[in-house]
Chains A and B, each alone.
Chain A
Amino acid sequence: MVTTSDRQTAAEAVTAHERILTYAQALNEALREEMRRDPTVFVMGEDVAAWGGGGVFAVTRGLAEEFGTERVRDTPISEEAIVAVAVGAAASGSRPVAELMYVDFVGLAMEPLVNQAAKLRYMFGGKVSVPMVLRTQQGAGRGNAAQHSQSLEAWFCHVPGLKVVTPSTPADAKGLLVSAIRDDNPVVFLEHKLLYGTKGHVPAGAYTIPLGVADVKRPGRHITVVGVHMMVLKALQAADQLAEEGIELEVIDPRTLVPLDEATIVESVKKTGRLIVTHEAATRGGYGAEIVARVVELAFDYLDAPPVRVCAKDVPIPYSAVLEEAALPQVTDLVTAARALMHDEV
């Protein structure tokens, strides 16, 4: 498992006087500060209130103690009701933050999300807005197998009317969640189960990171790597390794997939001439294909080589550690792909 990258460790040392939080704590802080600021914000989901626990990943820890179990509501195991109740509450003036324990269960709640939340404003001729956030977590690497390990961001990106957020660092997680809660549209806020324990510097107090602004996590001259979630961390590791061979990766985290900051990606590709997209979602029909398409449309003449996808195999995520590793894109796959791109082997 990849945890804190070397760069973050260095950053921690330099900024020892600043606050280092985990990704889960950063999300918790965003929820807490927004609930203090806006009484219409409330949280609902399975196991989110349990005193002391705060959800199976502890993101909502302590919120029930501060805000009470009316505003931090444990729900029955009723995914469709969780999302549909949030739609109704949002459309009538509140700002619900609904939680699904695993993204894998979203199939049980697609009707309220896809047919309602995403379309209500459009179908109501602009008379209503649906300012809800659906928080959930995705991703593999924990031996959770086929129905607890998927990365389904592309499903949501395909539905006009939804915004889709995928933070990879604690600071981004906080700033993006604040923006998501304040946004007047339905936002699917996707966390990653292996990122919850990762640490980084997080500014105190309220700040926002606008939806639709990518972040260059590491500048480089040779290959643009656009990654989602854990693959941002893996790309940074690959960049460290490749730097020793003189290959520089420019690692970009789009941070939000809808809206997508295509300008940052395109500018980078114009500089590097080479593109790798990488995500834990299956390769076929993945969001990486969308990024490749945009780059081909907007910067075809700048490409020195065909873009490459380093994504998961098109299989369910298996339980076995050996099989799971084989199914997922690894640092070595990124390194191999980058070398091939540099040596015109594609």
Chain B
Amino acid sequence: MHRYHPVVATPLTDVPASLGADGVRRLYRLMLLTRLLDERLWIVVRQGKAHFVLTGRGHEAAQCASALAVHAGSDWVYTYYRSLGAAIALGFTPYEIFLGVLGKAADPISGARQLPNHFSSRRLRTPTVSSSVATQIPHAVGTAWATHLRGEPVATLCYFGEGATSKGEFHEALNVAGLHRLPVVFFCENNGWAISVPLAEQVAGGSVAARAAGYGMPGVLVDGLDPLAVYQATDEALRRARRGDGPTLIEATCLRLTPHSSDDSDAYRSDDERAALAARDPLPAFRDRLLAAGLIAPDEPERWTDEFRASLLADQDRADALPPPTAERARRWLYQEPR
């Protein structure tokens, strides 16, 4: 098992070449936009405009950085319900996400059939999120199998939480991928909680990355609060896959800074625990690192925040002005009509 040590103190001379200084600035902006959108979505629920949301606050570093390593539109990506940051980094727009959350007919993901933040896009090669935990993992293996059979030099990236690794699907999928050295990267966002169940009650032995050994593939543990370490680990794994060198399992340690969803009370965690997590928030940490390295100007974080807030409000209003689907369309898309 390969460990990427936390590199919070690493000088930014370590910026991965394929990312570059511009890429690092872009990465921070994506993380910031994701965070502000996340906060906005919880407000939308409090406003009574949506039933519920599920977001990835504390996962932005892991999600945005890993998604930036994807060749968007050529690699395939299976996201999960918490993947807001990955979706934004892949190219979903906040406006599209508002359309779904607000249940509008124009929602490009499903015309308001699917739950909020269950992303899908033909253009971005992102199949729809399954609400059933872990079911996407064998599907990703199927996609990798198909691209391999067709001789396409692309990889499939599959996201899930550590709770998903308790499912039979996870184990069966990794075994198939390991046996046939398929071009797939399994990306586990380990935030230590599956709703109210902590890691110690979930993963025997305590390590997700260690499970890779049983399936004949490398297991990589990476500090999911360090975007550059995540980018590097994912970039390497995707390259291996595209080269035909087989699958990788990445475990990125994250924080869940919100309740599981807007339906969850979070009563099983104490205020002290929550405060301790908030103190490790990856977003200000990355900002300070970039400021110290002179990669962003001192006024930029605040300016960008204001700009994003304004554009998000405008996006929400624009989406909210549109109509919901009409009742007669309830059957639409159930079957593929003969072509």
Interface mask (A42-79 → B, CB under 8 Å = 1, otherwise 0): 00001100111100100000000000000000101111
User: How many A-B pairs fall under 8 Å by CB?
Assistant: 118
Is B263 on the interface with A (CB-CB < 8 A)?
A: yes
| B19 on interface, CB distance cutoff 8 Å | no
By a CB distance below 8 angstroms, the chain B residues around A56 are: 195, 263-264
Interface of A is mostly: loop
Q: Are A108 and B103 in contact (CB under 8 A)?
A: no
Given A53-B196, A313-B331, A315-B331, also A77-B113 (CB < 8 A): no
CB distance from B180 to the nearest CB of A (A): 24
Q: A145–B197 contact, CB under 8 A? A: no
Number of residues of chain A lying within 8 A (CB) of chain B: 37
Q: Does B166 contact A (CB under 8 A)?
A: yes
Cβ of A325 within 8 Å of any chain B Cβ, yes or no, is yes
Segment with Cβ contacts to B, from A177-185, A294-302, A316-324: A316-324
Residues of B within 8 A of A50 (CB): 195-197, 267-268
Q: Which B39-94 residues sit within 8 Å CB-CB of chain A?
A: 51-52
Q: Once bound together, how far apart are the Cα atoms of A24 and B143, in whole Å?
A: 42
Known: A76-B202, A318-B112. A323 touches B325 (CB 8 A): yes
A321 engages B330 (CB within 8 Å): no
Given contacts A50-B196, A78-B168, A323-B112, contact A145 B327 (CB under 8 A): no
What's the interface size class on B, roughly?
35 or more
B115–A319 CB distance below 8 A: yes
| Max count, chain B CB within 10 A of own CB: residue among A53, A80, A81 | A53
Could you tell me if A319 and B116 are in contact, using CB atoms closer than 8 angstroms?
Answer: yes
Within 8 A of A (CB), among B132-167: 132-134, 163-164, 166-167
User: How many angstroms between the C-alpha atoms of A274 and B213 in the bound complex?
Assistant: 65
Judge if A269 is at the interface, Cβ distance under 8 Å: no
Q: Which of A79, A80, A148, A318 has the most CB of B within 10 A?
A: A318
Q: In the assembly, what is the distance between CA of A319 and CA of B326, in Å?
A: 13
A–B Cβ pairs within 8 angstroms, 23 of them:
A52-B268, A56-B195, A74-B196, A74-B197, A74-B201, A76-B166, A76-B197, A76-B201, A76-B203, A77-B133, A77-B164, A77-B167, A77-B194, A78-B166, A80-B168, A143-B51, A148-B131, A318-B325, A319-B114, A320-B113, A320-B325, A321-B51, A322-B325
> A107-B132, A322-B327 known; 13 other A-B pairs, CB under 8 Å?
A50-B197, A51-B268, A56-B263, A74-B201, A76-B166, A77-B166, A78-B166, A78-B167, A142-B51, A143-B52, A319-B103, A322-B103, A327-B330
